[in-house]
Amino acid sequence: MIDDGLYDACPPPDLMLAQHVGMPKAGLVAVRTGPVLPASDYVEIKIHSDGVGVNPSECPEPVSIASYLVTRFQRIVGTDIDHKDFATLVYRDLHAGGPGTLFTNQVFHAVKAITNAECGVFAGKVTATVEMSSRAPVTVNDTQMAQQLQVYFTLHFGDRFWVPPMDTPAEDFSLLSAARKGGSILEHLPTKHSPEFAPAPELTISTGTDAMALATMLFC
């Protein structure tokens, strides 16, 4: 939408509100101040080797090297990243000719170093290119807006309101705010990707509608 000229067709909003359905008990509402979702970066690693795989004695096998990298990358989040920090690493594809992973910037540098070191073992016979592209920036809720909503929602929803921890999924909603200088607010509950995920519509839809209506009234 942004690339298609969203803010050329309409003026940028003063604030942004969004909702995200999640896995906790249906009917709950949550708002968190500050960072709520991490950035998401896509890293593509290509292992280049001379020769063909049917002659492994004449050239290092790129797929085997990629397998070594998978096992070595596991220690980055487990040991290289402080337990107080927030980072996840997910393998999306692993096949001859292409790959992929999700990382923070710190993890990306570790991935690149490990990849180059692993390929360096083969004395110049193997090279690698490591490229990163950002899928979504960090989602950060405006503190003042979120605190206002927390008070407002507590009064309306009572014990059905809670403050969630920072979650692992990334969302591109923050790109709308990044396209214009300003804050954002995201009501987020833990992610769901299971094909069996089926929240009760009478609770989730009515609660979400109430929450968005209240938030809109608060900032009108």
Q: What is the pLDDT of residues 55-66, one digit of tens each?
A: 566 667 777 788
Residue 7 lies in a domain: no
pLDDT-derived band at 150 (thresholds 50, 70, 90) equals very high
If asked whether residues 70 and 148 sit together in one domain, one would say no
Residue with tokens 């009478």: 202
The span from the CA of 16 to the CA of 171, in Å, is 14
**Residue 28 included in any domain:** yes
Query: Does residue 118 or residue 195 have the better pLDDT?
Result: 118
Q: Which residues contact 126 (CB under 8 A, 6 or more apart)?
A: 47, 48, 49, 60, 62, 65, 119
Confidence check: pLDDT of 32 > 70:
yes
The count of domains in the chain is: 2
Q: What CATH code is carried by the domain that includes residue 85?
A: 3.30.70.360
Q: How many CB atoms lie within 10 A of CB 42?
A: 15
For residue 134, pLDDT over 80 is answered with no
Same domain, 145 and 90: no
Q: How far apart are CA 113 and CA 107, in angstroms?
A: 10
pLDDT band at 192 (very low <50, low <70, confident <90, very high): low
* Domain that includes residue 187, residue range: 15-37+138-218
pTM of the predicted structure, to 2 decimals: 0.50
The maximal CA–CA distance of the chain, rounded, in angstroms, is 72
Are 91 and 100 in contact by the 8 Å Cβ rule? The answer is yes
pLDDT score of 213: 92
Output 91 or 55, whichever has higher pLDDT: 91
pLDDT number for residue 178: 62
Domain boundary among 136, 167, 185: 136
Of 101, 136, 171, the residue at which a domain comes to its end is 136
Mean pLDDT computed over 201-216: 89
**In a domain? residue 9:** no
Is there a single domain that holds both residue 165 and residue 113? no
Residues 155 and 86 both lie in one domain: no
48 and 86 inside one domain: yes
**CA 196/CA 211 separation, integer angstroms:** 25
Is 158 part of a structural domain of the chain? yes
Instruction: Identify whether residues 32 and 46 lie together within a single domain.
Output: no
Residue 95, beta-bridge partner list:
98
Residue 2 lies in a domain: no
Q: Are residues 212 and 156 in the same domain?
A: yes
Residue 8 forms part of a structural domain? no
User: Which position has the token pair 């109430």?
Assistant: 210
Tokens of 134: 């950002």
130 and 171 both lie in a single domain: no
Domain C-terminal end among 136, 151, 178: 136
In a domain, 6, yes or no: no
Q: Are residues 108 and 153 in the same domain?
A: no
